[in-house]
Amino acid sequence: MNLMCPARILLLPGDGRDAAVGERVAQVYAGPFEAAAGARLADRLGVRLSVVPELTQRPDAELQAIADLHRGETVVVLGLDLGLRLPAVVEHTGDGWTRVASDNEVTLASYEQAAGKFRDSIPKEPNHALIDLLAERLEPGGRVLELGSGTGKDALELEHRGYVVRRTDATQAFVEMMRSDGYAADRVNALTDDFGGPYDAVYASAVFLHFDRAQLDGVLRKAARTAPLLAFATREGKGEEWSNRHLDLPRHFVLWQEGPLRDLLTATGWSVERLERGDSKIGTWFQILALRS
């Protein structure tokens, strides 16, 4: 962060009840109309709420004053968007407040730049292990929403087994790739877009590992409103990492231990039916089939 804005400021929508905040937050600020939502969020985070009457009248000055009070800390400001897409992290550049790309947005930008290279470098086989788990509970003819279809290889296998698949991806380059191969595909960002439906299952192979813990919480809750079955694969490990593997561009990965992952699934409306482990060149993967609780 630059010296003009030594605090990290998260701008969230005015209704903070379902806001996914994955960082250590020092304080919540809200305008008068967002005070109730701010109180709920502050209580959930275990921090103090400050109501700022002038927040929407002098936003630049108020944000700078808040930033100056919280050097080296992260704070939430509720209900002020500055014309930006929310939620957003902002910093001051000298010419005004600007949105900082999230780890997930940096990862998506890498996929946009190098989708073709990714297709050429990854294994050609679909994730048979995960599809096998799904097949234990879902009969042919079931409607499957695939999140993060990428090159479309898993969708082909799912259709070969008799499922009706909606291909989606947050990366436009992958959407265009699937369309050029002759398949319908929709651009859907699992973090920000509605899933539609209902479907019989949500399927996501090697997608959830790009979401931080708070983001995955929100995605799992949306999935539970969308379908009674969830099949996904993510990596086992500790912490988070950046990697240039395959693309020579940065991608962000979040690793999971079994206990916390099971706890998160339970908290977001799922029960684990099957959890299998499988090794690869880059580590161990979880293959998980979950049922809506």
List, in order of start, the domains of the chain with CATH numbers. 8-100 (no CATH), 104-292 (3.40.50.150)
Half-sphere exposure of 149 (CA within 13 A, CB side): 29
The pLDDT assigned to 2 comes to 41
Q: What is the mean pLDDT of residues 187-196?
A: 95
Render pLDDT for 128-186 as a digit per residue (tens, 0 to 9). 999 999 999 999 999 999 999 999 999 999 999 999 999 999 999 999 999 999 999 99
Residue keyed to tokens 């950046």: 242
Question: CB neighbours (10 Å) of residue 200?
Answer: 20
Rounded Cα distance, 141 and 148, in Å: 21
pLDDT band of residue 99 (cuts 50, 70, 90) is confident
Ranking 2-6, 22-26, 286-290 by mean pLDDT, the lowest is: 2-6
The pLDDT assigned to 1 comes to 36
The pLDDT assigned to 91 comes to 83
pLDDT band of residue 16 (cuts 50, 70, 90) is low
- Please answer whether residues 64 and 5 qualify as being in contact, where contact means their C-beta atoms are separated by less than 8 angstroms: yes
Strand partners, 167: 146, 185
Rounded Cα distance, 150 and 183, in Å: 12
- In a 3-state reduction of DSSP, which class is residue 209? helix
Of 231, 272, 285, 238, the closest CA to residue 257 belongs to: 238
- In a 3-state reduction of DSSP, which class is residue 70? coil
Considering only residues 11 and 94, tell me which one the structure prediction assigns the higher pLDDT: 11
Strand partners, 10: 76, 89
Q: What is the mean pLDDT of residues 198-215?
A: 95
Long-range contacts of 58-63 (CB under 8 A, 24+ apart): 60/96, 60/97, 63/9, 63/90, 63/92, 63/97
Rounded Cα distance, 138 and 149, in Å: 19
**Share of residues in the chain with pLDDT > 90 (%):** 68
The DSSP letter of residue 83 is: T
- In a 3-state reduction of DSSP, which class is residue 46? coil
Return the sign of the alpha-carbon dihedral for residues 9, 191, 125, 133.
Answer: positive
pLDDT band of residue 77 (cuts 50, 70, 90) is very high
The pLDDT assigned to 130 comes to 98
Six-digit token string for 13: 């929508």
pLDDT at residue 3 tops 50:
no
- In a 3-state reduction of DSSP, which class is residue 132? helix
Six-digit token string for 120: 């050429």
Render pLDDT for 247-292 as a digit per residue (tens, 0 to 9). 889 999 999 999 999 999 999 999 999 999 998 887 899 999 999 9
Q: What is the mean pLDDT of residues 6-31?
A: 78
